[in-house]
A and B are shown apart, each in its own frame.
Chain A
Amino acid sequence: MNNYDVLISCTSWEDRFNDSIKYNLKNNCIDKVLLFGIFEFLSRTEKHSQEVLDSYSEKILGREVNYVKGYDDVSTWKTIEKVFMDASIINKEVLIDVSTMPRYLIWFLLHFLVAYGNKINYCYFSPKRYEDCDWLTDEPLQPRLIFKHSGLHLPNRSSILIIQSGFDVSRVSQLIRTYEPEKVLLGAQIGDQLDNLTKNIKHHKEQLNYQEIDYFTINAFDTDHGYYELKKQIECYINDKNILLASFGPKVHAVEMFRINLECPEVGLVDVPVRKYNEKYSHGTDLDHIQYGKLI
Chain B
Amino acid sequence: MNPFVFNAASNLDSELLMKMFIPDHNYSRFIESKRNVFFWGERGCGKTMTLLYNKMSLIKKAEQDIRKGNSLSFIPVYISCITPLIFKREYLLLENNFKAAVVSEHYLSLSIALSLVDSLLELPGLNNILDENLVADNISYIFDEELPSGNGVFTRLKKFITRKFIQTQKEINRSDSDAFYDDTFTFTSIITPLIETLIEQKCFSDAHFVFMMDDAHDLNSHQRAALNSWIAYRDNSAFSFKVSAAKTPDFSLATTSGGAILPGHDYIAIDIEKPFQNDHSAYGNLARKIISKRLELIDVSKSPEEFFPINQNMNADLEKARIRAKEIAIEKYGENDKKCINDYIYKYSRAIYFRERSPRANKPPYSGFETIVNVSSGVVRNLLEPCFVMYEDMISKNEGKKITEISPSVQTDVIFRLSEGFWKRLRDGINNEIDSCTTLDGQHVENLFNSLAELFRKRLLDEKSSEPRAIAFTISARTDDIMAQLTPILNIARRAQLLYVRTGNAKDNGADEDYYIPNKMLWPSRGLDPVGQHARVSIQARHLLDAALNKTPIPYKDNSQPVNLQSGLFDE
Residues of A with Cβ closer than 8 Å to B? 73-74, 77-78, 81, 111, 114-115, 135, 138-145, 147-159, 170, 173-174, 177-182, 209, 211-212, 242, 244, 265, 268, 275-276
Contacts and interface: CB of A to CB of B under 8 A. Distances in A.
Contact of A178 (B80, B87, B179, B437): B87
Interface in B85-119: 85-90, 92-93, 110-111, 114-115, 118
Interface stretch (B3-11, B276-284, B483-491): B3-11
B435 interface: yes
Interface of B: 2, 5-8, 10-11, 79-80, 82-90, 92-93, 110-111, 114-115, 118, 162, 165-166, 169-170, 173-177, 179, 385, 388, 428-429, 431-433, 435-439
Centre residue among A142, A170, A212 by max chain B CB count within 10 A: A170
Given A138-B439, A145-B89, A211-B388, A158 B10 contact: yes
A212 B165 CA distance: 28
B83 A242 contact: yes
B166 A114 contact: no
A148 B432 contact: no
B90 A150 contact: yes
Contact of B162 (A74, A154, A159, A180): A154
Contacts of A151: 84, 169
A170 B433 contact: yes
B484 to A, nearest CB: 22
Contacts of B85: 153-155, 242
Contact of A211 (B7, B80, B93): B7
A158 B12 CA distance: 10
Contact of B88 (A138, A145, A178): A145
A149 B173 contact: yes
Contact of B84 (A74, A150, A275): A150
Contact of B169 (A73, A81, A152): A152
A159 B8 CA distance: 12
B8 A145 contact: no
Contact of A158 (B11, B88, B89, B439): B11
A81 B177 contact: yes
Nearest to B175: A115
A212 B6 CA distance: 11
A139 B431 contact: yes
Nearest to A74: B92
25 contacts: A81-B177, A115-B175, A138-B429, A139-B431, A139-B432, A140-B432, A141-B435, A141-B436, A143-B87, A148-B174, A150-B84, A150-B89, A153-B84, A156-B114, A156-B115, A158-B11, A170-B433, A173-B433, A178-B87, A209-B385, A211-B7, A212-B7, A212-B11, A265-B173, A275-B438
A138 B434 CA distance: 10
A77 B92 CA distance: 11
Nearest to B12: A182
A157 B347 CA distance: 52
Nearest to B179: A148
A153 to B, nearest CB: 4
Contacts, number: 124
Contact of B431 (A138, A142, A145, A147): A138
Contacts of A178: 82, 87
Centre residue among B8, B10, B82, B111 by max chain A CB count within 10 A: B8
A180 B179 CA distance: 29
Given A111-B175, A178-B87, A155 B114 contact: yes
Given A138-B429, A145-B89, A276 B439 contact: yes
Contacts of B111: 155
A148 B85 CA distance: 13
Contacts of A152: 165-166, 169-170, 173
Contacts of B435: 140-142, 174
Contacts of A139: 431-432, 437-439
Contacts of A73: 89
A153 B175 CA distance: 18
B345 to A, nearest CB: 37
A77 B80 CA distance: 29
Contacts of B179: 148
B437 to A, nearest CB: 7
- 6 closest A-B pairs by beta carbon, nearest first, are A180-B8, A115-B175, A170-B432, A155-B111, A153-B84, A142-B435
Given A151-B84, A155-B115, A180-B82, 5 more contacts: A148-B175, A153-B84, A154-B114, A155-B79, A156-B114
B84 A244 contact: yes
B471 to A, nearest CB: 23
A182 B80 CA distance: 13
A73 B90 CA distance: 11
Contacts of B115: 155-156
A150 B173 CA distance: 8
A140 B176 CA distance: 29
A163 to B, nearest CB: 14
